Amino acid sequence: MVNNDDQFKKVISHAKEYGYVFPSSEIYDGLSAVYDYAQNGVELKKNIRDYWWKAMVQMHDNIVGIDAAIFMHPTTWKASGHVDAFNDPLIDNKDSKKRYRADVLVEDYCAKIEAKIDKEVEKAAKRFGDAFNKQEFITTNQRVVDYQAKIESILSRLGKSLENEDLADVKALIEELEIADPLTGSRNWTEVKQFNLMFGTKIGASAEHSTDLYLRPETAQGIFVNFLNVQKTGRMKIPFGIAQTGKAFRNEIVARQFIFRMREFEQMEMQFFIKPGTQQEWYDYWKETRLKWHQSLGLGDENYRFHNHEKLAHYADAACDIEFKFPFGFKELEGIHSRTDFDLSQHEKYSGKKLQYFDPEENKSYVPYVLETSIGLDRMFLAVFSNSLVEEELDNNTTRTVLKLPAVLAPFKAAVLPLVKKDGLPEIAKDIVNQLKWDFNVDYDEKDAVGRRYRRQDANGTPFCITVDHETLEDQTVTIRHRDTMEQKRVKIDELRDLIKQEVDMKHWLMKM
């Protein structure tokens, strides 16, 4: 059985070997926490983005999209609170000279206690067999109850200290828990300091005339500053949403988890403008709707959970994460935040412009409240990719590597393979590619024995292989092989389009929501 570290290493090397993700500027030894999407990665990423866009924008009459610039007027970030408060608490280890996020050290400590709980549960499940009731066990077993209480007390103290900017207490907590540098075991820590995550840059041709700018650390503010423009030109009625996908930049303190935490990444965000007082209802609605979107992809319902925020960001009155089981454990994949009227009110204050909505039903104007859903596209990519990569034992005692990507997201929907490189088979195969490529991204592969080509397409996540053989010359039929079941069927060339469409069509997948 492979452990999680090994599994994660496999994910990273598979992503490189199969042309999904490369380290940025690798010939110069790469750039820390920056990655490039390669020929297959760019397709997978685009398909995830399209899947999100279709579910959020096309399928909601009251949600529209925008594409705001990455550069924004610098006052935006004063108003949003990012200049003053977009910080992470950092701590250095004096011996190893390694830098960590203080809150993450404490959270990782709690994750270890959680792993102990999981062990207890596993042991008990074995002992009690079919009669095992997990819920009863974790609420009554004294050891588990104590572990749980310990986690809660630590996280609640961390939350309070961070909220009160009491960094000395965060340090005290690390010392009391005897948390050591995970790499060296040293407990020789510096004080905890705040570190602003925004990247600064300059705009303008000469030094005297340049203005300081930030690279946006989130896409949301581009939506807030355009709220009134969109509402008026689109004649939008509350409740309505504005969606956007695009790059965001954060100078992350620690970024060692491949594309999970990058310094340049892409977000898919939607701000839903609502009547004040209705935020609980919409918070519940969007939690449920977003979870269903994730579940529609079939990565396993048990791999998702909600995590309520202990420490609320400066703008939120309720917030939770949808966490996903990555190879390194459950971690945030998407955030759902009830942002109140914080952002629009702040932009009113700093710009001096009214950002209000006249509600004809109420016959009055107000600053709308906002419900936000925010997901990292790269994190979603990692969730899909890592979950899909499996080593399968086959009947004949061999194994195969399969990338079981949801067919709707796979870079290539089918590969067309002539059995041999002669007798007119390549010509027919290319003809099939030419017919299918109007509808799908299709690969053509004639190199190596057909068995090896199947393996290659399996490892690349291609849901269908279509093989052209000598029978094709006689009756216009081909075999179509299914990636996951490896079943093969003989079908007419004319039937291929519909057969593939049935399984890769977004509608078929989104209808599961």
Binder to ligand ATP among 23, 41, 376, 426 (CB under 6 A)? 376
Task: Answer yes or no: are the C-beta atoms of 405 and 368 closer than 8 Å.
Answer: no
Q: Does 458 bind ligand ATP (CB under 6 A)?
A: no
Collapse the DSSP code of 363 into the 3-class scheme (helix H, G, I; strand E, B; otherwise coil) and give the result. coil
Q: Is 99 a known ligand-binding residue?
A: no
Task: Answer yes or no: are the C-beta atoms of 170 and 102 closer than 8 Å.
Answer: yes
Binder to ligand ATP among 92, 181, 252, 445 (CB under 6 A)? 252
Q: Which residue has the tokens 């969606």?
A: 243
Phi, psi of 295 (to 5 degrees): -65, -25
Per the structure block, which two tokens stand in for 287? 């939690």
Q: How far is the CB of 220 from ligand ATP (least distance, A)?
A: 9
Task: Answer yes or no: are the C-beta atoms of 462 and 482 closer than 8 Å.
Answer: no
Which lies closer to ligand ATP via its Cβ, residue 53 or residue 440?
53
Using CB under 6 A as the binding rule, the residues of this chain from 200 to 219 that contact ligand ATP are: 218
Which lies closer to ligand ATP via its Cβ, residue 209 or residue 256?
256
Bridge-based pairing state of the strands 35-37 and 389-393: unpaired
- Judged by phi (left if over 0) then psi (alpha if -120 to 50, else beta), residue 485 lies in alpha
Binder to ligand ATP among 37, 258, 265, 342 (CB under 6 A)? 265
Which lies closer to ligand ATP via its Cβ, residue 114 or residue 505?
114
Which lies closer to ligand ATP via its Cβ, residue 154 or residue 316?
316
Per the structure block, which two tokens stand in for 208? 């005297």
Residue 59: count other Cβ atoms within 10 Å of its Cβ: 13
Cα separation values, 128 from 122, 198, 362, 436, 471, Å: 10, 52, 60, 55, 57
DSSP 128: H
Q: Does 374 bind ligand ATP (CB under 6 A)?
A: yes
Q: How far is the CB of 376 from ligand ATP (least distance, A)?
A: 3
Which lies closer to ligand ATP via its Cβ, residue 263 or residue 483?
263
Task: Answer yes or no: are the C-beta atoms of 345 and 370 closer than 8 Å.
Answer: no
Which distant-in-sequence residues (6+ apart) come within 8 Å of 381 by Cβ?
41, 44, 45, 48, 259
Binder to ligand ATP among 45, 171, 261, 404 (CB under 6 A)? 261
Closest CA to 348 of 224, 263, 261, 472: 224
Which lies closer to ligand ATP via its Cβ, residue 372 or residue 445?
372
Q: Is 56 a known ligand-binding residue?
A: no
Q: How far is the CB of 304 from ligand ATP (least distance, A)?
A: 13
* Interface segment toward ligand ATP; rule CB under 6 A; list 128-136, 356-364, 371-379, 473-481: 371-379
Q: How far is the CB of 338 from ligand ATP (least distance, A)?
A: 13
Q: How far is the CB of 320 from ligand ATP (least distance, A)?
A: 11
Instruction: Give 3-state DSSP helix, strand, coil % of the chain, rounded to 5.
Output: 40, 25, 35
Alpha-carbon dihedral 119, 121, 126, 129, rounded to 10 degrees:
-170
Q: Does 262 bind ligand ATP (CB under 6 A)?
A: yes
318 to 357: interface string for ligand ATP, x by CB under 6 A: --------------xxxx----------------------
Binder to ligand ATP among 216, 379, 404, 481 (CB under 6 A)? 379
Binding-site residues for ATP sit at: 250-252, 260-265, 332-333, 376-379
Binding-site residues for substrate sit at: 101, 218, 265-269, 372-376
Binding site for ligand ATP (CB under 6 A): 218, 250, 252, 261-262, 265, 267, 332-335, 374-376, 378-379
